[in-house]
Chain A
Amino acid sequence: MRQKKKQKDRIAYLFLLPSMLGVSLFSLGPLLLSLFISITDWNFTMGFGNWNIVWLDNFIALLTDEWFVASLVNTLLITLVTVPVGLSLAMIIAVLIDSFCHKKLANALRVAMYMPHICNIVATSTVWMALFSAYGPFTQLVRSLGWGNPPKWLASYTWALPALMFVIIWAGLGYSVFIYSASLASMPKEIYESADLDGANGIQKFLYITVPQLQPTTFFLTITGVISSVKVFGYVNIMTKGGPGSSTYTLVYYIYTSAFKYYKFGYASAIAMILFLILLIITLIQWRVNREEA
C-alpha cells in the first residue's frame, strides 16, 4: 500500500516537474537574479558579471529621480482612473444589454465589445493614433461637437495621458462586460421579482440588488484591472513613447527605457523591484479578502 502511494507520488512529481522547471527557469530564477542586479551598477554592454555591488544606491537614487516620480504618479493616475471608470461603465453596459437587448443582439454586442481585448495592441494603437491625428475621425467628431480647436491629443502635455487612459478603458471594456454578463446570467431572478412586488424602480434594483450581487465579480475585476493597469506598457510604447516629456511615462515603460535604451540594468531592476512590491501588496490584499470571504 505504502509502495503504491510512493509510486503515485513519483508520477505526480514527474507531472509537476515540467511546470516546476518552467517556473524556476523563467520566473523564480529571473526574479532572484533581478533582485541581485538591483543592488549592482550593472550596465548591459559591460557583459554579464561585470558589475559592482552598490547595495541601496539605486533605490536611493530613485527617490530624487524626477522621471521615476513622474512614472509612478502616471501609473497611479492610470490605475485610479481606468479601473473605476472602466468597471462602472462595464457594469452599466452589461446591465443595459442584459435588460433591454434581444438575446441574439446581446450576444453580438458582447462579442463586438470583446474584440479590442483580443486584437493585437500594435494594430489597435496604430488605429487610435490615426483617430487622434489632427484630421482624424476622433478629432473631427470632437470638432463637430463644438470644440472648435481641439488639442493635438498625443502631442499635448495635458491631453496625452487622458487620451491614453481613454484607449486603455476602451480596450478593457469588452472583457469586463463579458464577465459581468456571465455573473448577471447566474443571478437568481426571484430577488428582482420580490423587489418588483415591493415596488422598487429600475435604479433602486440596480443599486440595491445588482451592484451588491456583483460584488465578488467586481472585486475580481478590480484586482485584475489594477494589476494590468500598473503593468501598462504596449499602448505607451507605441502611441506616445512616454512623451511629450515625461507626461505618459509609466513604471514599466521606464524600466524598459532604462534597461533597453540606456542599458542601466541595475537601475532598471531596482524600479522592477518597486513594481514587484506594489503588485505583491495588491496580491496579498486579494488573498486576504478572498480568505475572509471564504
Chain B
Amino acid sequence: MKKTATLLIALAIVLGLASCQPKETKLYIATINDMHANIDNFPKLAYVLDSLRGVHPDLLLFSAGDNRSGNPINDRDSVPSRPMYELMNAVGFNLSCFGNHEWDSGVEALRDVMNIAKFPFVCANVTFDDSLNMPYQPYIILEQNGLKIGVIGAIQVGLNGIPDFHPDHAAGSHFHPIEEVLPEYLFLRDECNALFLLSHCGFEEDVETAEKFPQFDAIFGGHTHTLVDSTRLFNGVMVTQALNKVKYLTLNTFTFDKNGKMIAKESQVIPINKQKNIDPAVKSMVNEFNNNEVFLKVVGYNDAQIDDCYECLGCYMADAARALAGTDMAFQNYGGVRFDTLGVRPVTLKDVCSLDPFDNDLVVFNMTGQEIVDFLGVSFFTDGGPNYCSGCTYTYSVDEQGQMKDCQVKLDNGKPLDLKKTYKIVMNSYMSSAFKFQHEDPGTDIFRSSNEALIQYLTDHQHINYADKHRAIEK
C-alpha cells in the first residue's frame, strides 16, 4: 500500500513537471542588411533593439552584409570601417556575412575590421589564401534555448567570377558559385533544429536558391536593397530583406514544438527611421565618430585661388578620374561639380566629399572620335553646360536652339581627335546612364567611385593648381 502511494506521488510529480514544460519554444532573430555605414541611424536602431530585447531577451541579431561604404566618416577612418564595427559591437550583433562592399578598402583592411568585430563572419562560397589569416568560417551552429541553429553564409558572385567590386581588391580571395557549394553543407539540416542562409546574393537569387534548396527554413538576404514587408515563402522557404541604410530591420519569429521541430515561421519589418527615441550612449558614440578629425584630415593643398570657376574644379575631377581609370580621356559633367570657389589652403577630406557627394562609380568606354564628339554635344544639351575634360581640350559654338556645334577636339599631344580611331574614355555612372549618346561599347563599371579618384589624385600629387584652367572653350 505504502509502495503504491509512493509510486503515485512520483508519477504525479513527473506529470506535474511535464505539464510545466513549455509546449512550444520561440526563436527570435532580427536581421538587417546593406547598412552602408549609415551610422546616424544607430541610436534609433539601438533603442529598437533594446525594446525588442526587453520582450525577447534571447533575440539574435544578424547582418546580411554591406556593412560599410556610403559614408566617408566610416570608410575613410584611419582604420576603414572601424566606426561601424564598434557600433555593431555596441548594439550586440551576433553574426554577419560578407557583402561585396566589404572588399572596398582591400582584403587586408577587411581582415583588420573583422578582428575588431566581436561577432563571427560566415561565408561558404569564398576561400582566402592562408597567408591572409582571415577569421571567418563557412557556417556556424549557434545554441539558443536548447535549439541548434545552423547558419551558412553566402555572397553574390558576378559573371566575371567575383562580387561587384574592383578586381584589384580580389587578390587572395577566391569565389565560387553558391549553388555549387551549398550541397556540401546540407548535412547541417540533420544536425540542427533550424537551418538558415545569411545571404548577400540579392532577392531574385535568394528566391532561386529557395526553389533549389528547400532544406533551408529561411534565407535572410541583402544586396538588392529590397523591402520584403511581410512573410514571403518560396518553396516553403521564408525569404526576407529589409531595404537598406538602417531604415528597417526584420524581426523573424520561429516556433518549435516540444520535440524541437519547427512548426511556424513569420517575419515582419520594423521601421527604424521613424523612431523618435534613441539610445543616448550610442548617440554619444556616433557624435564622437562624426567629430572625428579624420574628416578634417588634409589630403593635399590647393596652390592657387579658384573663384567662381566650376570648370577649374571640373578639370581636377576629370584629371582624377582619368588617372584612376588609366584612360586616354575623361569627362566630368557640368552639373556634377558642387562648388566653384576654393581658397589657397589645405584641402580636407570634407572638401573632397562636398565637391563630389554623389558616390558615383566610374564607367569606362571604348568610343570612336565621332562618338566622343556626339557625346559632348548630347551632354551639353542634356546637362545645360559643357563637359569638363582631361586628356584633351575642345572648342565649340552654340546655335540658337542651345545645341553645341562646330566641336573641335584636340588631344594633349597636340593632334586633333581622329574621328575613326577608338579611344578609351571614363565618365561617372550618372553621365553614362543619363545622357543619350551613341556608343557601340555599353561600358564597363570599374567599381571605383569618382570620390575615391579625387582623394587618390590629391594624395598622389599633394598640390593642385587649377586656377583659370579652361579646356572647353566657347568660340
A and B found bound together: no
Show the binding face of A for B, using Cβ within 8 Å: none
